[in-house]
Amino acid sequence: MRVTFAGSALPKKGALVVFAAEGAVLSAAAQTVDKNTGGAIKRAIGASRFKGSKGQILAVSAPHNSGLSRIIVAGVGKPVDVTPLAMEALGGKIYAALAKTGDKEAHVELSPAKAIKLPAAEMAARIGYGMRLKSYRFDKYRTKEKAEDKPCLAKVSFGLKDFAAARKLYAPLDKIADGVFMTRDLVSEPANVLYPESYASEIKALTKLGVKVEVLDEAKLKKLGMGSLLGVGQGSIRDSFLVVMQWNGAPASSKEAPVAFVGKGVTFDTGGISLKPAGGMEDMKFDMGGSGAVVGLMKALAGRKAKVNAIGVVGLVENMPGGNAQRPGDVVTSMSGQTIEVINTDAEGRLVLADALWYTQDRFKPKFMINLATLTGAIIVSLAHEYGGLFSNDDDLVKKLVAAGEAEGEKLWRMPMGEVYDKQLTSQIADMKNVGTRDGGSITAAQFLKRFVNDVPWAHLDIAGTAWTKTELDTVPKGATGYGVRLLNRLVEDYFEGK
């Protein structure tokens, strides 16, 4: 969907969006439209429960004495309710109200009251951003869908006085949305289409944006000693890979260490020999959601030309049972030299991340490392689908991540760590085992990862409950959410870009 900005000009046909505040107080543009249509808006308000409250939507079809197909009145609520995040959510609601009406184009006329502190240009940019995020659809495999069931809204124009500022503010948001959409695409693909080798090929497309991409095959991984990662994929006919992405956007004179992001890329997780139950196993195509977020983030940073040096590393494997599959009780040697007794082959993501984290800190000496993974069902038991689990060895990094998550609506909740949990990983025959007891499963998983980060400031985001949604959200359709791209882009933008 294309979003444009220009000066104020009420259309004579098509779909029009105007606004109202708490108490059904119409904006200046809405008042003009109401007058031009013989009071159509006020009559519709009188016949409804619409109060102009935050996020309310009122649709007026084929208004009298007008060539307009419909008027959408969007409620902004009280002045205090008008925040960037709320405007994005409102944009999503506006898109949902228009998507299947038959209108291919819509015009949004913005004339906010003086009491609203958020500048009109940012209001417009954020509403447009929310509309674009909500417009995502993964429909490449639908061949028999009826035309009337498909969304047709393809263009949205915004009219406001300060349209040049709105256009400038929207431009980087549009690139972030590109990154979110790439993550959603990757996570949505079925595992027979997106497997380690084809996934690596998809990532290579980032070179068009100036990202340097290196693909390390199994021969290189063996030479590096990545027995932990390779053990996970040995039961699959698909080879395993490690893909390294580098975006060098900081000034050439910068001597700052890069920031680094590491993702779990298990393109399908059967559980291996520790086989998962059949029910719901189809969802395991999105067990690469952490890596998808890293790839989408790198696209967003490169797309908006972020002034930062950033590293993205993703370990790509398929966890399958087979004659050569890893067995419970096997011992593998990680790149770090530490040995791991594999008690449960379904605790495979941490084995992939162990080598990816060690490689990243050893090669790049980053300012910090953040890894993302759909790692444990235990985090869903703890936090449901509302928060990502946050584990870290650095309080300052935690503070910045939480603030970025709140600003973007991708919330995090810090979970405890400590020696009492670490003891659960003691093995009788190796340096550690890959699982503890069932109790505190997401915490012991984090304790395992911590053993492979050395002294680098590090955070682990367990996004098992947030990478996919089975319900419609304001700016997210059902399915892959793209969780993590906006959060980490905000972290970089607010705290590390140009620093």
Residues carrying an active site annotation:
276, 350
For 244-264, give one letter per residue: b (16+ CB within 10 A) or e: bbbbbbbeeeeeeebbbbbbb
Residues 6+ away with beta carbon under 8 Å from 157: 3, 4, 5, 6, 105, 106, 107, 108
> In the block, which residue shows the tokens 């790839």?
295
Residues in the chain, how many? 499
Please give the Cα distance from 356 to 372 (Å, whole number).
12
On the 0-12 / 13-18 / 19+ scale of CB atoms within 10 A, 313 is buried
Contact 390, 301 (CB under 8 A): no
> Residue 51 and residue 42: Cα distance in Å, rounded?
11
Q: Indicate the SS3 state at residue 7.
A: coil
Strands 212-216 and 331-333: unpaired
Tokens 């947030």 correspond to what residue?
A: 466
Is there a contact between 235 and 321 (Cβ–Cβ < 8 Å)? Answer: yes
What are the tokens at 473? 């959200």
Going by C-alpha positions, the residue among 165, 184, 166, 188 that lies closest to residue 176 is 184
Q: What is the 3-state secondary structure (H, E, C) of 272-285?
A: CCCCCCCCCHHHHH
